[in-house]
Structure 1
Amino acid sequence: MTLTAVVHDAAQVVTLETTDEDRADEADGEERTDGERDGDVHTELAVYEDAAVAVEDGRVARVGPTGPVTREFPPENAAHAVDANGKAVIPGFVDPHTHALFAGDRSDEFEAKLRGKTYQEILEDGGGILRTVRATREASDERLLANLLGHLDEMLAHGTTTVEVKSGYGLDTETELRMLELIDRADDRHPVDVVPTFMGAHAVPEGRSADEYVEEVVHDQIPAVESQGIAQFCDVFCEEGVFSVEQSRRVLEAGKEAGLTPKVHAEELARIGGTQLAAEVGATSADHLLHSTEEDVAALVENDVVPVLLPGTAFGLGADYADARQFVEAGADVAIATDFNPNCYSQSMGFAASLSCVEMGMTPAEALVAATTNAATALDLPAEVGTLQEGAPADIAVLDAPSYVHVPYNFGVNAVDTVLKGGEVVYRG
């Protein structure tokens, strides 16, 4: 075994673990804080003080008080020794919903929204998604890849070590396949793990009806995506004025037949039934959910669909926020994401956590669980991802702050000092 890294003398090391409801707090020097509840099981933060993390062959070998850990795993023997004196150590963030591959600029639309134009009005005027589609189709592979790698650099600097990236700015078979190929190339070249999602049903192209375009997605795009073999998920924008519930169902069921796991953009601008659809088709996640009802929440919990809440989108639109408390109190494994895209231009999971606490009523512990282990669940990743438990991938963010609470508390500032991916130092602030 190779001693990859030792992060030592941290003010806090925070791990996440799932435990029985009545488990005693038995570890020395360890506090437990509730995150999300799932029936009789908690996901809890285990907070170790004056602590260290040892990494062997890219996985966490030991977590605990600095003295015992460093005696067993001397920092001087490690490929990477990180002195975290006065700093908190947390799992790297998992961002389970982004549209980070695109070309063009839509900052003028931000001003238009401030003057009172709605999202739908901008879209009807040829802006919004369709404007980005035109720019993305025209951009070279080199430009698109450079754009995505730059965004991944920014995400990494803010502590994200795994991210989902969707296609969907192609709206034709050729460009959708190009986008998925570039997402795959970015995954090969960048330290951040990139999870690819096909989203041909992101908008209706100009000059087409929704029904006509759904036929193309089902009969042309999805078979080509299956043959390409890159995408893991199939997503659809189930929304008023975009794709109806039945149109969305056709896309998702065709995707399932092609081996693509369903995801649904649901109830963002209006409630039309996307959440119930996600439950019915066995989606891994339903995302946005600003207008979901108690009935919708119950359907997600009953069918093990992860609700992915995107507070940055509500912030950018000046809209009401999703009611996180109704999901948490119903026992859902709530996740949060940036929704980074030209209409929600933030690569920071820390900012999403701040909004989750201030605007959606989550606690800092709930927000951290939502941004790590629950977000990994929304991507069907192995259970140990986003936990820093022993045996987990050593994806680690070291904060320039004494407590994980500073992630949402110190809003507007990047609290991340150092990032390790698989125990390798891949970013220093």
Structure 2
Amino acid sequence: MKVDCLITDCRLATMVPGGEPYGAIDDGAILIRDGQIVWVGPRADLPEHEAAHTDRLGGRWVTPGLIDCHTHLVFAGDRSAEYERRLTGVPYAQIAREGGGIASTVRATRAADAATLTTHALDRLKALTASGVTTVEIKSGYGLDAESELRMLRVARGLEQAGGVRVRTTFLGLHAIPPEFADRRAAYVDLMVDQVLPAAHAEGLVDAVDAYLEPIAFTGEEVSRLFDKARALGLPVKLHADQLGDGGGAALAARHHALSADHVEYVSDEGVQAMAEAGVVAVLLPGAFVMLDETQLPPVQAFRDAGVAMAVATDCNPGTSPMASLTLGMALACMKFRLTPEEALAGTTRHAARALGIADQVGTLETGKAADLAVWDINGPGELSYWLGKPLLNRRYLGGKLATRD
């Protein structure tokens, strides 16, 4: 067969479950045509082929390109000064009363034009891709008005070509109540549900819909109304759920057949079971857990026992998780949540793909999947969750084409 590229002299962590740990192939090869994997397996079993190009990787490990399935990558400003104040003992509530917190990010994001938002987002995206990311989810939610939310989503779409990644966009209009609607909560929900989401969808800017379900954010009734609108538009949903307490978020996500429930530190046993029955992925966000100095661990063993898939993401945002390395997220998930390194890698590949509804396209090294690959200077895939801050990526391929090389 004729192919565009042969990748050989490498070890593969295919992340296909059911066989060797990591789906490993010790001496592997991959054939790529038209951006897709058309064959993968042991080099000794290579079929007859004619390759336009051959990449010999010198025995390096190859994994699926990593997938960061929960980020707030597009925003303006930063909150490092607030971080310093909190470390000196100033309560967050006081900072918020003085106009800080998410309100400060909303002001900065509304004031920034698309070019400024793109420049800052590309800087953060560059750090993510340096940790092996080839697909990234990006949420809105720092504009909180029609013009700014749409601008954020347009910028996120544009990052796909500019940043050399695949982008999945998520509408997060129900993230917080903006100051101008402080006494008109119902009107704000009406605006997001009835006007902004349909407008964003009509412009082709939305791949999924998210909301923040907490006493400090939105109620189950408000979220359900948004989700009903999303499903009427043919859009999948996901949920910030049970981060600060057991608010029934996991069960609500399950009732709406959500792709994922994210954070889930306080999810109940009933919520875990509901997620399992509905196939909802648990997205673990160790960056926020560490940054907020939380002590309530997500019920990882309960997820294992129930068969709930666990993804891992950075939650990259200016307030609660200013983290721009997915391999660091994997390491923290192992150290803080006691995931195994294999679970952490599955959580940033095949389970992250499920959390975005694209498991048929990416997440494993299999025939028919996109040829999105990460090549690593490591002795084994467990090192990806071991090193803290050490550059490990050798190169990335996106759709079979070299996207990054160290």
Per the normalisation by structure 2, the TM-score is: 0.93
**Equivalent position of 2:23 in the other structure:** 46
**Equivalent position of 1:334 in the other structure:** 310
Which range moved further: 238-247 or 48-57?
Answer: 48-57
Aligned positions of 1:26-65 closer than 5 A = 32-33=20-21, 45-65=22-42
**Equivalent position of 1:184 in the other structure:** 157
1:175–1:373: structure 2 CA closer, same or farther, 3 Å change rule? same
CA distance in 2, matches of 1:236, 1:120: 22
**Equivalent position of 1:378 in the other structure:** 355
Which range moved further: 140-149 or 164-173?
Answer: 140-149
Which range moved further: 89-98 or 203-212?
Answer: 203-212
1:259–1:389: structure 2 CA closer, same or farther, 3 Å change rule? same
**8 Å Cα contact 2:15-2:63 kept in structure 1:** no
CA distance in 1, matches of 2:59, 2:403: 21
Structure 2 gaps of 5+ residues are: none
1:296–1:118: structure 2 CA closer, same or farther, 3 Å change rule? farther
Q: Which amino acid aligns with 2:312?
A: I
C-alpha distance after superposition, 1:380-419 (max 9, x if no partner): 1142511011222111111111211110011222321111
**Equivalent position of 1:246 in the other structure:** 221
Q: 2:379 aligns with which of 388, 402, 414?
A: 402
Q: How many residues align?
A: 402
**8 Å Cα contact 2:238-2:253 kept in structure 1:** yes
Q: 2:120 aligns with which of 126, 129, 147?
A: 147
C-alpha distance after superposition, 1:329-349 (max 9, x if no partner): 210111111111112111211
C-alpha distance after superposition, 1:94-117 (max 9, x if no partner): 111100001101111222333345
Aligned-residue offset at 1:245: 1.7
Aligned positions of 1:3-22 closer than 5 A = 3-10=3-10, 12-19=11-18
Q: Which amino acid aligns with 1:14?
A: A
Report SS of the residue matched to 2:265: coil
Aligned-residue offset at 1:2: 5.4
Aligned positions of 1:253-272 closer than 5 A = 253-272=228-247
Aligned positions of 1:240-319 closer than 5 A = 240-319=215-294
1:330–1:409: structure 2 CA closer, same or farther, 3 Å change rule? same
**8 Å Cα contact 1:102-1:169 kept in structure 2:** yes
1:117–1:408: structure 2 CA closer, same or farther, 3 Å change rule? farther
**Equivalent position of 1:41 in the other structure:** none
Report SS of the residue matched to 1:329: helix
- Is 1:112 aligned to 2:85, yes or no? yes
Runs of 4+ residues deviating >6 angstroms: none
Aligned-residue offset at 1:235: 0.8
The alignment yields a C-alpha RMSD, in angstroms, of 2.0
Q: Once the two structures are aligned, what percentage of the paired residues are identical? A: 37
**8 Å Cα contact 2:214-2:241 kept in structure 1:** yes
CA distance in 1, matches of 2:270, 2:285: 20
1:120–1:428: structure 2 CA closer, same or farther, 3 Å change rule? farther
Structure 1 gaps of 5+ residues are: 20-24, 26-31, 34-44
CA distance in 1, matches of 2:329, 2:76: 23
**Equivalent position of 1:194 in the other structure:** 167
- Is 1:421 aligned to 2:394, yes or no? no
Q: Which amino acid aligns with 1:107?
A: S
Report SS of the residue matched to 2:63: strand
Aligned-residue offset at 1:124: 4.0
Aligned-residue offset at 1:68: 4.4
Q: 1:158 aligns with which of 110, 131, 138?
A: 131
